[in-house]
Each structure stands twice: as C-alpha cells, then as structure tokens.
A and B are shown apart, each in its own frame.
Chain A
Amino acid sequence: MSLQVDVRLSVGSFRLEAAFEVPAVAAAVLGPNGAGKSTLVALLAGLALPSEGTVRLKGELLDDPSSGLHVPARKRSVGVMFQDHLLFPALSARDNAAFGLRADGTSAREARAKAEELLRRFGLGHCLDRKPRDLSGGESARVALARAIIRKPDLLLLDEPLAALDVESRASARRLIAEVLSDFGGVALLVTHEPVEALSLCDRMLILEEGRVTHEGPPDAIRRRPRSRYAASLAGLNLVKGRVARLGDRCLVEGAWGRLIVADPVSPDGSPVADGAPVLATIHPRGIALSLDRPDGSPRNVLPGVVLSVDLYGDRARLDLGTSPPLTVEIAGETLTSLGLREGMNVWATVKATEIEVYGV
C-alpha cells in the first residue's frame, strides 16, 4: 500500500510540482508558510485538481488529467483532519464523529454507537452531546481526529493538527496522534511547520519549499545532509552552496559569498570530487569559535563580521553573525559574558576545515 504522487498544479502565480512516494507509514510534510502544504492536502483529498500528472493510492489511479480522470473527494478513501478542525457547528461531537459512517449509509444507531466508542477512547466521554462551540481547543481537535479516522481510510491527512492548540493541550494531543498513527494501517501524511512534531510523530520526512519537494527520506539523513537553507535551519546547521576548487595543496569551496578551506571532499564511491563540481557544505553552530581579535595560526577559515543578534537559551547563546557567508554560532553563556559580546560588535569567527562537512548536490 503506498501513495504515489507526481503532479503539477498552478494556482494563480503559485506552482506546485510534487513527485514522491510514501509507503504505509507516517510521513511528515514540513515547509515554511506558503510552501504549498495545504494545496497538497487539498489535492490529495480530492478537493483540488492537478493540471498535470497522476495521483495513485494503493495502486488505484485517483487523478489523471490527461485522461480526464478525477475521483471526487467523496469517493476517495481519505480522512482529513483540518487545520481549523472544521467541525459542523449544528451537530454534536458525537454526530460530528459519526458523520462519515452516516454518509456511508450506516444506520444512525450503529454510527452513533461507534462514534461514541471512539470518542470515549479519546477521553471525550464527558462532552459527547456538546456542540463544537462549547468544546475547548483540545477537545475539538480530538473530535476532528476521530471524525477523520472513523471510516478507516486508506489515506490520512493531518493538516497542522496541533497549530490551533495551546502548549498544554498540545502535548496530550500529540500523544493521542502518536497512538493513532501507530495503530493506523494506511498512509498518513502529517503536515506541519514544527520540526519537533515531525520528528516525534513520523518516520519519514518530506520537505516542501516553494511548491517543490526538496527532501524526501528519514529525518536523520535530512538532518545530516540538508539540501536547502530551510532544511538546514530545521537541522540547525549553517549551509553554503559552492564549487570545489583546488589551490595547491588546499581544497576550497568557493561561492559568491567567498571561499572556505575544507578537507578534501570524497564522493560516496571513494573517488575525489572533481574540480568545479557543485557541492553543499554545512557547519555546525558549535563548530565555530569566536574571538575579539584576529587570530593567527594554522590554515583555518577566519571570517570577520558584526554581531546581528543574540538569543539566550538557558545557559547557551545563539548569535547571528553578518559574516560572509552569514553564520549562526552557538556558544556557552559564560563565553558570551566573558567576551562581553553584544549586538553591533565586531567579532572574528574561526572555523576549522575539519568542522565543515562537504557533499555533492
């Protein structure tokens, strides 16, 4: 059972081009705002049509504009938990949850009984007869989830399910979703912009940026080798793009932002990377040293810059530097105070060649 997507959709000036395959696991779709995540959800749910391409679920074709095929939403085996929950205001929590079963023709009694059972499992036994306007955010999220899964769909879409919740309800809701996902037998896509949610709930990650899938795979692989600035920021890494250049016995990565001395990069098969080949390079924030004066010594990367911002996280501090390339540095709080670093100050950042991970694009 898998979901195979290869579509192109233009909405106004926005263009979505997504090609990916997800087996019967829980996969997260991460991306910044405006990346097209909700458009993707609408498309997979059958509420939007692609201009070109195909969507296949369980081997069955759901969308194929070239042959005019579009399976409408109500005929798809899909359950959607919407960002604003979108519970039906005129129906009670129980009737909301039972809605999908009633649409299938189940008798009212049976549908309501099943809905009640599910809602009790979700801890909502006390508000079965309440209308959505009388439910708290957390309760309404659970009802929305129950409503989405009650028909046991083949594809489950969760569109920013925790976005509308406050911090306390979020934790318990996340636990519930984790439970549901582990029991769920079909393909589940969890759309979110919170990397924490993605990492804690899903085994695979898709990153959607400006309408394109830029990463697909297990979170670790993405974290070690991000291919885009957004992915790099998710991973908390500094990322630059450039080309390999060899100067004497030194190996460099060069770009418009300048150059960095790196350890000689090696392709996956062991051969050295050719000159001029495009590469990505990442630097971990903790692999950067800061000093007030220009350091001298062995060949290292020494970059001057201005402190743009300082953020404290407990006993550590993150600084954004206006170096070229721009860098984010993480240092101990004591170092911050001992150096007396503040916004607007000039500092020198030092990066050892061995701290820079280089890999092919």
Chain B
Amino acid sequence: MNGGTSFGRIFSVLGLVMLALLVLPVLGLALRAPWTSLAHDIVEPSVLRALGLSLAVSSGAAAFACLFGFPLAWILARGRFRGRHLLRAFVLLPMVFPPVVGGVALFTVFGRRGILGPVLEGLGIDLAFTPAGAVLAAAFIASPFFILSAEAGLASADRRLEGAASTLGASEGMIFRKVTLPALWPSLSAGLALTWARALGEFGATIMFAGNLPGRTQTVPLAVYEMFQEGDDGGAILLSLVLLIVSLAVLLGFRRRAFGR
C-alpha cells in the first residue's frame, strides 16, 4: 500500500479486518442462497407468518421497553437515592443472562407455577406459550439497551433549558413535551432501534418461555433454526436474508425520519 502515515495504514488494515468480519458472513449467505426459489419460498404461509410474527413481537417488545423503560431510565438518571447503582446493575442483568436461562427465569415468575401464576390465572391471563409470552421474553432480553441509552441521554441533557422553560410559564407536561423530549430524541431513537433489532433476533428465551408453534410463537429465528435442522438450509438462508433486508429497511427508514436527513 502506498502513501499515508503509519497510523493511517495500521488503522485501515485493522478496520478492514473488522469490516470483513461484518460483511463476509452476509456475503456468504447471499452466495449460498437459492435465489431462484425465492419467489416461491417467500410466499409460503409459514414463512409469511414467521415474518409477520417476528415484526409484531419485536415491535411489541420495543413498545414495552419504551413505555416501562423510560420512567425507569428517568429514575436512574435523576433520582438521588442510595442504591441507584444496585438498581442499574439489575437493569444490566438481562444482558448478562444466557437467554435460555432467562426463559426459565420467566417461567418461575409468569408460568403457571410461578410467583405470579395464581394471580395471572385468576385474571385469566396466559403468558407462557403465547405470542404475548414471546413479546415478554423479547422485552426482557432487549429492554436494557433502551433503558441505558435513555438514561445516558437524560443524564447529559441540559437541565437549565427546563428552568428557562418554567420561567416562561410552561407546565411540567409542556416542558417534557417541548423541551426535554426533543433534546432526548437522538439517544431515544438509537436505543429504540437497538432494542428492536435485538428483540428481532431473540431466540433462547423465546423458545423456552413462549415455545415454538408456527403461526403463534414461531418467530423467524426459531423458524430458521428449525429449517436448518430439517436440512432445508436453502430455505433457512433465504429466510435469514429476507429478515435481514426487512430489518435493514425498517432501521434505515426509522433513522431517516428520526433525524430528518
């Protein structure tokens, strides 16, 4: 290679290695995929159902993370109480859990024999082996991404702007809507995108807690694994690529809207 400082050279070699690791697997999949049967395979009901279910489950998990995770992030960022660090450690736990173990843990709480089992049964709510269970499993594993991102955004927000808004007569709600939230949007959207993507790929907790039933709880990762086990690796690769493309499209579109660029 000619030209450039040695720093530049070292960095580009190392960066190229990383890029290769990221790009080559996708390339490998694309090369092995039986593209000729794509049109036929993709309209198969089980494939469409798995796709639809995956998108619904990850969106549900992301929404859950947003609704319940944002207040927690607020508490973490703005609370002034002892044990805040312990609380943050708990938030990190699902990232450390092996997902399958997470699934078993969910059983011990939300299963029929779980801590909340009787309560849920009394309310007529079924979580294990249901799509709602798949959402819960994905939310459990993926929420920390959103919470930590939101917390970072909240912690670095300029509180003086909120003071300025209140001198102008704004209520707490108005301050939150017009001052706090817009400033937070970059970190929130990044966290949301990450959570959604992680939920989309969730396997272990889902297969343990929600089970594997086509049309009800078989998300794309489960379907891909099953296809591969059956020897239909062509179909498995195709489905993986379809999911990849769909999620890329969603993420790109989302970030474009989020940043108005």
Q: Hey, which bits of chain A sit against chain B, CB under 8 A?
A: 42, 45-47, 72-76, 78-80, 82, 84, 86, 88-91, 99-100, 102-104, 147, 151
Q: Which of B158, B166, B174 contacts A47 (CB 8 A)?
A: B166
A-B contact pairs, 18 of them (CB 8 A): A46-B167, A47-B166, A47-B167, A73-B163, A74-B166, A74-B167, A74-B169, A75-B169, A78-B167, A80-B167, A86-B160, A86-B161, A88-B165, A90-B179, A90-B183, A102-B174, A103-B171, A147-B168
Pairwise interchain contact A103-B164, C-beta atoms closer than 8 A: no
Known: A47-B163, A86-B160, A88-B161. A103 touches B170 (CB 8 A): yes
Pairwise interchain contact A99-B168, C-beta atoms closer than 8 A: yes
Shortest distance between the CB of B185 and any CB in chain A (Å): 8
Known: A82-B160, A103-B174. A89 touches B167 (CB 8 A): no
- Which residues of A are found within 8 Å of B9, using beta-carbon distances? none
- B residues 132-170 near A (Cβ < 8 Å) are 158, 160-161, 163-170
Residue of B167, B178, B183, B185 contacting most chain A CB atoms (<10 Å): B167
Confirm or deny: B182 has a beta carbon within 8 angstroms of a beta carbon on chain A: yes
Pairwise interchain contact A72-B168, C-beta atoms closer than 8 A: no
Count class of interface residues, chain B: 10 to 19
- B residues 88-134 near A (Cβ < 8 Å) are none
Pairwise interchain contact B178-A100, C-beta atoms closer than 8 A: no
Pairwise interchain contact B169-A89, C-beta atoms closer than 8 A: no
Pairwise interchain contact A88-B163, C-beta atoms closer than 8 A: no
A76→B169 CA distance, assembly (Å) = 8
- Which residues of B are found within 8 Å of A45, using beta-carbon distances? 163, 167
Pairwise interchain contact A73-B183, C-beta atoms closer than 8 A: no
Q: Which of B164, B171, B174, B183 contacts A80 (CB 8 A)?
A: B164
Shortest distance between the CB of B90 and any CB in chain A (Å): 33
Known: A73-B163, A82-B160, A103-B174. A89 touches B168 (CB 8 A): no
Shortest distance between the CB of A345 and any CB in chain B (Å): 50
Shortest distance between the CB of A145 and any CB in chain B (Å): 13
Shortest distance between the CB of A42 and any CB in chain B (Å): 8
A222→B182 CA distance, assembly (Å) = 47
Q: Which of A79, A88, A91, A102 contacts B167 (CB 8 A)?
A: A79
Pairwise interchain contact B167-A73, C-beta atoms closer than 8 A: yes
Known: A46-B167, A74-B167, A79-B167. A90 touches B174 (CB 8 A): no
Shortest distance between the CB of B138 and any CB in chain A (Å): 31
A79→B160 CA distance, assembly (Å) = 15
Shortest distance between the CB of A47 and any CB in chain B (Å): 5
A88→B160 CA distance, assembly (Å) = 10
- Which residues of B are found within 8 Å of A72, using beta-carbon distances? 166
Shortest distance between the CB of B42 and any CB in chain A (Å): 41
Shortest distance between the CB of A93 and any CB in chain B (Å): 15
A272→B79 CA distance, assembly (Å) = 64
A46→B167 CA distance, assembly (Å) = 8
Shortest distance between the CB of A193 and any CB in chain B (Å): 20
A147→B170 CA distance, assembly (Å) = 13
A86→B162 CA distance, assembly (Å) = 9
Other contacts beyond A74-B170, A103-B170: 9, CB < 8 A: A47-B166, A47-B167, A74-B168, A82-B160, A84-B160, A86-B161, A88-B161, A103-B169, A104-B169
- Which residues of A are found within 8 Å of B161, using beta-carbon distances? 86, 88
- Which residues of A are found within 8 Å of B171, using beta-carbon distances? 74, 103
A223→B179 CA distance, assembly (Å) = 44
Pairwise interchain contact B178-A151, C-beta atoms closer than 8 A: no
Shortest distance between the CB of A118 and any CB in chain B (Å): 14
A50→B169 CA distance, assembly (Å) = 21
Shortest distance between the CB of B164 and any CB in chain A (Å): 4
Pairwise interchain contact B178-A88, C-beta atoms closer than 8 A: yes
Shortest distance between the CB of B257 and any CB in chain A (Å): 15
Q: Which of A73, A79, A90 contacts B166 (CB 8 A)?
A: A73
- B residues 1-17 near A (Cβ < 8 Å) are none
> In the complex, what residue of chain B is closest to A150 when comparing beta carbons?
B168
> In the complex, what residue of chain B is closest to A83 when comparing beta carbons?
B160
Residue of A72, A84, A90 contacting most chain B CB atoms (<10 Å): A90
> Contact flags (1/0) for B164-193 with A, using CB distance below 8 Å?
111111110010001100110100000000
- Which residues of A are found within 8 Å of B185, using beta-carbon distances? 90
A88→B166 CA distance, assembly (Å) = 12
Shortest distance between the CB of B54 and any CB in chain A (Å): 33
Residue of A46, A82, A88, A151 contacting most chain B CB atoms (<10 Å): A88
